[in-house]
Amino acid sequence: MARATVQGRLGERLRWRTAEVVGRGSEYAEATTLMLKVPDWPGHLAGQHVDVRLTAEDGYSTQRSYSVASTPEPGYLEITVQSLPDGEVSPYLAHDMAVGDLLELRGPVGGWFVWRPEQEEPVLLVAGGSGLVPLMSMIRARGSSGGRTPFRLLYSLRSPAHGLYTKELREGLPGLDVTYLYTREAPEGAKREPGRIVPSDLVDHGWPAEFAPTCYVCGPTAFAEKASAYLVLLGHSPERVRVERFGGTGE
């Protein structure tokens, strides 16, 4: 009997569910947030990802993995897709999908790169480009659970025109500090010269290692590699530096 229970759980996680696009939010030209209604969706943990499957009319199908951007809740989730030139899937999701269209998804998966509201330590989030997506889910989960633990976000992006969730981050939340690290072009009057992340960014805007924060780093491989190495050099315990690399270049 116990065996049957396990299989039931497993089946749940692996089952493809039908999701309907109920809204689209434009982040910037290449990035779109898809709002998805999934009637039997169990909810997720902030930081987890889902597999998305697209099937063409002749039966051809392909799948990709996307982090969930929204706060955990049953029946609904959001993913943010950056359209990549020559991509097979991302341009379709970002530009062609309309409200009422269907896709399939399964999950959520991943138990390592997650933040749970019961965590009490301070949190440092380090995002490179669209690596902000799972970290935004953590920020939103903290907000919706009434969390009081202090969060700091360092967000590396190409220019002010390439920001995700711009308005929401500008409005801010009590206990959330946001620092923007522009890599190519900074707004007028910015004190920091545009450039890639350096250790002093983490010293000036992160947490001292003595506070024993949990650090979540997400971004393209080169960015994630660098930022996590700097954190360890600055004395953060490797066990407390959780990394999700998602490949590609970008910012």
Q: Which is nearer to another protein, 39 or 172 (CB)?
A: 39
- The Cα–Cα gap between 211 and 218 comes to 21
Instruction: Give yes or no for residue 149 binding another protein (CB under 8 A).
Output: no
Regarding 138 and contact with another protein (CB under 8 A), the answer is: no
Contact between 54 and another protein per CB under 8 A: yes
Region 25-44 residues binding another protein, contact defined as CB under 8 A: none
- Residue 249 near another protein by CB under 8 A: yes
**Coil, strand or helix at 18:** strand
Report the sign of the C-alpha dihedral through residues 154, 158, 164, 169, in that order: positive
d(CA 58, CA 176): 48
- How many chain residues are in contact with another protein, going by CB under 8 A? 60
- Binding of another protein at residue 200 (CB under 8 A)? no
Q: Residue 13, interface with another protein (CB under 8 A)?
A: yes
Helical (H) or strand (E) element with 221:
helix 221-233
**Residue 245 interacts with another protein (CB under 8 A): yes or no:** yes
Pull the structure tokens for residue 235: 């004395």
User: CA dihedral defined by 117, 120, 230, 174, rounded to 10 degrees?
Assistant: 70
Q: Which of 72, 110, 122, 206 binds another protein (CB under 8 A)?
A: 110
In the complex with another protein, the residue whose CB is nearer, 84 or 176, is 84
Angle (nearest 5°) at CA 217 between 214 and 221: 150
If one asks whether residue 15 binds another protein (CB under 8 A), the answer comes out as: no
The sheet with strand 61-67 has its strands ordered as 61-67, 49-55, 102-109, 17-28, 31-37, 76-82
Six token digits for residue 157: 């992006």
Residue from 25, 43, 76, 104 that binds another protein (CB under 8 A)?
Answer: 104
Which residues make up the interface to another protein (CB under 8 A)?
A: 6, 9-10, 13-14, 16, 18, 49, 51, 54-62, 64-67, 81-82, 84-90, 92, 96-98, 101-104, 106-107, 109-113, 130-131, 133-134, 218, 221, 242-249
